[in-house]
Every structure is written in C-alpha cells, then in structure tokens.
Structure 1
Amino acid sequence: MQEDVRLMVETGLEAYRFSISWSRLLPNGRGPVNPKGLQYYNNLIDQLISNGIQPHVTLHNFDLPQVLEDEYGGWVSRDIIRDFTYYADVCFREFGDRVLYWTTVNEPNVFSYGGYDQGSSPPHRCSPPFCVMKSNRGNSTYEPYLAVHHILLAHSSAARLYWRKYRHKQHGYVGISVYSFGFFPQTNTEKDRVATQRARDFFVGWVMEPLQYGDYPISMKTNAGVRIPAFTPRESEQVKGSFDFIGVIHYTNINITDNSDALKNQLRDYDADMAAKISGLELFSNEEYPVTPWGLREELNNFKLLYGNPPIFIYENGQRTPSNSSLQDVSRVKYLHGYIGAVLDALRDGINIKGYFVWSFLDLFELLDGYKSSYGLYYVDREDPELKRYPKLSAKWYSRFLKNRSSFIVGSVELEKDPSLVSIGHLFE
C-alpha cells in the first residue's frame, strides 16, 4: 500500500478513488466492527492524506455481506435501507474526519441491470429466458426495478443522515454515481430518435430523475407499469435533491435502434421495457474502445440541461486493452488525450465539473472479464511474487499532463523511445 501511494505521488495524483468493502468492515452486515478492517482503511486514508492525496470513498461497489443476501435477499428487500444506513453511519463516524467525498452506491443502474435482470454480475439473480448466465434464483421482470428503488431510498437515507449528524463537523459531501454512454440513434428516423431518448431514460433517467424531480421517467412508468415501484409522497421528497454531487462513469458511445415490438411480449424484463436495441457495445470483450469523446461532452451537457447542472466528478473514464499487451499503450494515451479534451470543452460549455479520474491507476481484477483485459496506467506482473508494477506509456504521459508539461500526442512519440518502456511480452514467456 505504501509503495502504491508513493507511485501516486510520483505520478502527480491529487485524489484517489477507492471502495470500502462492507463485508470487511462489518462481517455480519451490522453490529460489531472488524478491527482489522478498520485498521486497514485507517492506514490507507492516513497514507493518502499525509501525501496530499484526497480520498474519494465509495460505500457499495457490487459487494454486499453474504449474510444480508441470505437473510432477506439484499437489495430486493426494504430491510436493506436500515442496514445500509447503519453501515454508512459507521463509515462517516470512523473516517469522516479525513474523508470529504462519499459516494453511496457505484453505478446502481448497471449494478441492477447486470445483477438482477441478466444475472451477469453479482448477485447473479435472474429468471429464464432473460439470463445470460445460469441462475436458479431471481425474477428479471421485477427485481431490477426493486433494487434501484431500494438503492435510491438507502442512498437518500444515508445522505440525509450525513447532513443531519456529520456535515456541520466534517464539512463533507455525499453523492452517487451513474453509468452513462453517449447515446446516438442508429438512423435519423423518428423511431430511432425516440428510442434513443427512451434508452437514455432507462439508463440515466432511472437514477437521475428521482434524484432531481422525485419520480421515475414517464417512459419507464408507462412501459414497466406496476412492475416499477411507486414512491410515496414522503419518499419522493426524501429522494429529491438528496445529493451534493454526481459521479459520472463513461467509456464509450452506443447506437440505438427502435425495438417497440418487444412491448408486445407478454413476459418482459427491463431490456424489453426499454424497447430499444443497442449496438456498438461489447461488454465481454477486451477490444479497445473507439476514441469518440464527443459522446462524453454531449452527455455532460445533458446533465446540465436536464438535471440543473449538478456538481460532477467523472469517476471512471479509460481505455480497455488486452492484459498482455505492450507497455507502449499508445491507444490509451490517444484515448485519454481525446477525452480529457472533451472534459475541457464541457467546462467551457459551463458544466459544473469538479474533477476527473482515470480508470484505472493499476491493472486490476475487472468485474466483467477478470484479468483478460486491463485499464491501468501501471501494469501489475501477477507472475512476480512481489507483484511488481511497471509504468506504461500512459502513466508517463498522464504524469506529464498533471505536472503541466507537454501533453500533446506528439509528446508520446518521445516517451515511446524511452528505454525504460520495454515490452512486457517477455513477462508472459
């Protein structure tokens, strides 16, 4: 940990985003705190602070204490609201004197879609014929909507607890993150344009409209009907405005084609309710993303126009490459150069952007494809007992950018000739 924080300092990072594992801190989901878990996170936070790096902490990132899943089904039960608020209270109390930025739940839209409709990600709940992976539990027709509903209520409960109990002492901020694409119609037909707006409602509006306006998008309520839970007037007021900032997670653009025929199906899931086909997205792949930064700029403008220009941290943005590719990751440099440029354009558009984080600092275990692909600025040799880190071209480029040195693409040509940037192919021989 100390070595990695030193790497952050050498790179020039001003902030570092990480998740706390609920299970590591509260093994039973509630009750006594695990002292070793508490010590680990205190050590990490202290290391960051002492080196001038601001911690940005996420409370839930696809992981839940198994005991709560076994006891009542986790996020599909209202009981989770009480237990999540208790967990958040522990974190605010123990770490809030040093942590100013709290994200309650990471990308609830993708978490619920993958975890409760397709069954492709934890907790792998789904029902035939909608499963992409074998599962013997869940209900794809109802549960994605239930999970997001309870996430929004748990988030707002934790946020208002912080404001009431801690903010006057700790002066921090509470937000939530949303996964977003650049949404574009496949053709210029009216049907595809309407389907594109509908797809955006289902992906982004699903989380943002309750937070901004206190209710789900009309298109979702119309298509999902009674399967999407309704907020009571009190819940609507509780959720509305329950954030200090929004974390935006963005990697690529998608093209949308109308699929209204899906609404004729008697048995439907979230996908069918959206009534749109998506192209240009390969989730289970290690192919590189195209460099199309205009999608991020347009999406950031949507946040300004539709949701009152909230404070935004771009919490994930980065290039995917095969895990055994070269340290000379020119494609990642081009990607970051293009997307950071789009963030600058968005700032000039008057969008309230507070920060930008590259995904990811180190190569790590990816949710969808494990170690087959990598996003890191630093390569981690998992065959080495010491797990040695190697800076990629992108790490050196990004460091120069952060230190106000040359950040033009041509600068990467000089870096490519750096003798320290050897190919990592020999590490796999």
Structure 2
Amino acid sequence: MRSLYSLQMVVMINLAVAVLCADKYSRSDFPPGFVFGSGTSAYQVEGAASEDGRTPSIWDTFTHAGYANGATGDIAADHYHKYKEDVKLMAEMGLDAYRFSISWSRLIPNGRGPVNPKGLEFYNNLIDELISHGILPHVTLNNYDLPQALEDEYGGWIDRRIVKDFTGYADVCFREFGDRVSYWTTVNEPNVFAIGGYDQGISPPKHCSPPFGTNCTRGNSSSEPYIAVHNILLAHASAARLYREKYQGKQQGFIGLSIFAIGAVPSTNSTEDIMATQRMMDFYIGWIANPLVFGDYPDTMKKFVGSRMPSFTNHESELVRGSFDFLGVIHYSTCNIRDSPGSLELKQRDFNMDIAASISNYDDFFTASEWPILPWGLQGVLEYLKQAYGNPPIYILENGQRTPRNSTLEDTSRVKYLQAYIGSVLDAIRNGSDTRGYFVWSFLDVFELLDGYESGYGLYYVDLDDPDLKRYPKLSRDWYSHFLNGGSVSPDAVIELQKNFSALSQGHFFQ
C-alpha cells in the first residue's frame, strides 16, 4: 500500500510540475556544495584498446563480433593519449567534477592477480591532472566492461566467484587511488546492464534465449538477468564493506551504486495502469534500491518472478542493506505504462514479460534521434526515491540529450533539454530531495551503447575524420559553462547565446 500511495503521489506531482519546472535560475539557487560535472566511461572514450598491457573486455568481444553498427572503441576519442588536453577543456568550462570509469582489464589484465603498471600509471596521471585543475574525480569501478578473461573462465556476473574477484579489484582501486578519490560508484546501472546483456542480448556479454533475444549462442533470458543482478549486489556490498572497514575512516570518501531510472507514467488513470506503473518502478528501481535500503527484493518481483528470483540469506541481506552512502541516478526519458495481464499466462517469461506491463513508446528509446523534453519525469523519479526509500543522498550521474552525431554544433535541442532538466532538479531539491550533484552525459561525443558513432550526447564534438581527433565546442558547452560560472539561464538567454555562437565554430565537416 505504501508503494502504491507513493506512486499516486508521483503521478500527481508529474502532472503539477509539467508547468512548474524552473525556467529561469542560476547556479547560486542550488545548495552550497552542490556538484556539477560531466562524464564518460572507459571503453567509450579511452581508446588504446590493445596498448600498454590492456586485455580485452566483454565490450571488445561484443564490438569485434560486428555489433554496435560495426563500430568499436579501439580508438574512440583517444582519451588515453589526450587526457591532458581534455582536462584542460574541463577546467576552462568550469566543471566541478568529472565522472569516469576504470577499465578493469587495463588495470588488472587477467581480472585478478598482478596489476598492470602502465594501467596504474594512466589512472594515477588522470586523477592527478584533474586535481591539479581543481576538478573532483568521481570514479565508477565497472561500466559494462568486465574482463573477458573472467567471462571465459566462469561466466562472469552469473557465477558467484565474481564477488571475490570484484572485491579484489576494488581493493586495488581503493588502495591506489583512494587518497585522491572521494566518490566511488561500484557498478554502473546493473538493472539495464542485466536486461541488455542477459535477457535481450543487445549489449555485452550478449546472453539471451529464444524467443526473447536473437543471435545469441548462450544464455537463459528467464533466469540470468536476475542471477547477474544478484551477484552484482553481493559484489557491491562486499566492496562497500571492505571500503568501510579498511579505507573509509582514513580516506573519508563515499561509496554507492547507480540505477537506471526511467520516468514511468500510467497511460490512463485506471487502477490497472497505475498498478502496472508501480510494477515498472519496482522492477526497474526497486530491483536495486529495495535490497540496498530494506535488504530484500520487492514483494511484487518475488511474486511475479517466483522461483527464478534468487534469494538472500539472512547474512547476505544484512550485508547488502545499508551498503551505500549515496545512490546514483541515470535518467534520460519518461515512458507511458499500460497494464498487460496476458503476459502472466505465458509459460516462458523474461524480465519484460514478468512486469506484465507494456511501454507504449519503448521503441523510441532506441530509434528516436532526440529524446522528448519531459523534465517532470526526472523530478518524479527523485520524488519517488524520496518517498519510497527514505530520501537517500542522490547524485544524478547521467542525464543528457541524444542527437545525430554529424548534425550541428549549434545543438539548441540539447541546450533546451539541459536547461529544463537542471531546472527540474532544482525544483526537486526545493521540494526536499537530497540530491547533491548533477552530471551531464557526456563530456565528449563518445562510442555509444545503442549505436556506436551514429548519435552523440557530447558537450564537445570529436571529429573522427581528423587524425588528431580534434574537439569542437558545441552551443551546449557554452551554455553549461555560462551556467557553471554563475550566469542566469532562461529561454531568453538561450536566444542570446545562439546569437553569440560564432558561425566559424560550425566547422567544414557540417557544410
């Protein structure tokens, strides 16, 4: 009853804030200490995929098999060699923080055992460069790129042995970097990682089974997503306990886990659609947040998934519960949810079937050239986390606008998107949300999960046809910099910013 009440409140908030999101504000309106940053992840930005001792991750295997539109991260934006240039751009923009991930197979090539000196050197240099420019490093330990060695040896995240190996990897990171890194996210969006990688087979390690996925050579869509998340939660909790017992007292840092959180709105006001939307919230958000806050999965999930749902022992429940100092939120868009009770009648079910709900605009998430601007969806997610999970500290670790990559540097739609969504964060804070930071995805145009190099989210365009991979600032970069440096932002300010955006910055490659 508590969850349904929370959802009904969110629905009302969604309707109300649709016309109330702040449209004129400045950085000074946010609480003191609020962090504004931008981010990337290792495989998507670093390049140097086979240099200096790095071994393949499951991302390398996936892309070299021809997926992701045939694109790879072999070179990407070459951040590995150009990090000093990139950090200088961050500082010029005025970023408080940079969120990046560590490539496990660059640091520990076999997944466990000897540390690669060159990998250690790179991340030490990157962290030092950030700090020397006054930029706070926010580090994610694993973003989809599990070492292929561990996948080959025992199946990676679907085997309990991963808990020990991940904890050992985390120990190296805490020991080597924790004197300068204060914010650790263990695993990036495990809910969507599990759905894409172990149910639908559209992302690494490409596990799935018919009829739920295509072209997979192994996997079980009915059970593996739940097993993978279960082991991720145990690995996270083990790493968090290690950090708290061995490092946190001295290093004074914070550790958390990120959740991909779609905005979910009932297609109608019917009780069935409202309950279906609550199931969507339980399956996407509660799947991760419930164990972290309450020590167990949502009752709805246990009921609908049945014996395929792993269970925590009493000891594991105590280990997982409370094993976070903050929750990371990854949010891009909002979907309309409709009840789909027929799904329960099927003997073969996967994650989407288990929810017994349909997303009316689901395909748009994969095919839309731009996300619709629905900032109240993010505000609704923050309000839901506040009401359902006791208002935990929140960092919005990814939020941004997708556009065709080779379109224009005058990315007005991204500016409008960022202005609306940052305004919605401000409104959520004013309504009591304990949100403490916001990171734009992404700092540069990078290799993207859904389509390689077809789309971009970056504040900077990277010219892939230039041997030097030159970076070009977009209008959104200027807007964000204006805001970060204390300027007031409003629809009128966007128009003025466009006028001042030099036509010369468009570049020949857009002509």
State how 1:30-429 maps to structure 2 within 5 Å: 30-131=112-213, 133-281=214-362, 282-418=364-500, 420-422=502-504, 424=506, 426-427=508-509
Is contact 2:375–2:424 with CA below 8 Å preserved after alignment? yes
Is contact 1:289–1:320 with CA below 8 Å preserved after alignment? yes
Aligned residues: 428
Distance, in Å, in 1 between the alignment partners of 2:350 and 2:283 is 12
Alpha-carbon distance, 1:326 to partner: 1.0
Deviations 1:360-396 (A, max 9, x none): 1111110111111000111111111111111111100
Distance, in Å, in 2 between the alignment partners of 1:406 and 1:309 is 29
Distance, in Å, in 1 between the alignment partners of 2:507 and 2:94 is 28
Distance, in Å, in 2 between the alignment partners of 1:91 and 1:369 is 31
Is contact 2:410–2:506 with CA below 8 Å preserved after alignment? no
Distance, in Å, in 2 between the alignment partners of 1:421 and 1:246 is 41
Read off the aligned partner of 1:69 and give its amino acid letter.
E
Q: In the alignment, does 2:100 pair up with 1:18?
A: yes
Q: 1:176 to 1:419 in 2, by over 3 A?
A: closer
SS in 1 for 2:447: coil
Is contact 1:179–1:204 with CA below 8 Å preserved after alignment? yes
Read off the aligned partner of 2:217 and give its amino acid letter.
N
Identity %: 64
Q: 1:299 to 1:89 in 2, by over 3 A?
A: same
Alpha-carbon distance, 1:423 to partner: 6.8
Deviations 1:128-165 (A, max 9, x none): 1110x411100001100000000000000000100000
Alpha-carbon distance, 1:413 to partner: 1.8
Distance, in Å, in 1 between the alignment partners of 2:394 and 2:445 is 25
Is contact 2:158–2:224 with CA below 8 Å preserved after alignment? yes
Is contact 1:327–1:421 with CA below 8 Å preserved after alignment? no
State the TM-score, normalized to the length of structure 2: 0.82
Distance, in Å, in 1 between the alignment partners of 2:474 and 2:165 is 42
Unaligned runs of 5+ residues in structure 2 are 1-82
Alpha-carbon distance, 1:181 to partner: 1.1
Alignment root-mean-square deviation, CA: 1.1
Unaligned runs of 5+ residues in structure 1 are none
SS in 1 for 2:500: coil
Read off the aligned partner of 2:149 and give its amino acid letter.
V
Partner of 1:27: 109
Alpha-carbon distance, 1:285 to partner: 2.3
Structure 1 stretches of 4+ moved >6 Å: none
- The structure whose RCO (Cα within 8 Å, separation 6+) is larger is 2
Partner of 2:40: none
Distance, in Å, in 2 between the alignment partners of 1:384 and 1:424 is 15
Deviates most, 98-107 or 381-390: 381-390
Read off the aligned partner of 2:369 and give its amino acid letter.
E
Deviations 1:168-206 (A, max 9, x none): 111101100000011101111111111000011000000
Distance, in Å, in 2 between the alignment partners of 1:378 and 1:266 is 48
Read off the aligned partner of 1:235 and give its amino acid letter.
E
SS in 2 for 1:251: coil
State the TM-score, normalized to the length of structure 1: 0.98
Read off the aligned partner of 1:231 and give its amino acid letter.
F
Distance, in Å, in 2 between the alignment partners of 1:232 and 1:337 is 45
Deviations 1:273-320 (A, max 9, x none): 111111223233251111110111111011111111111000000100
SS in 1 for 2:367: coil
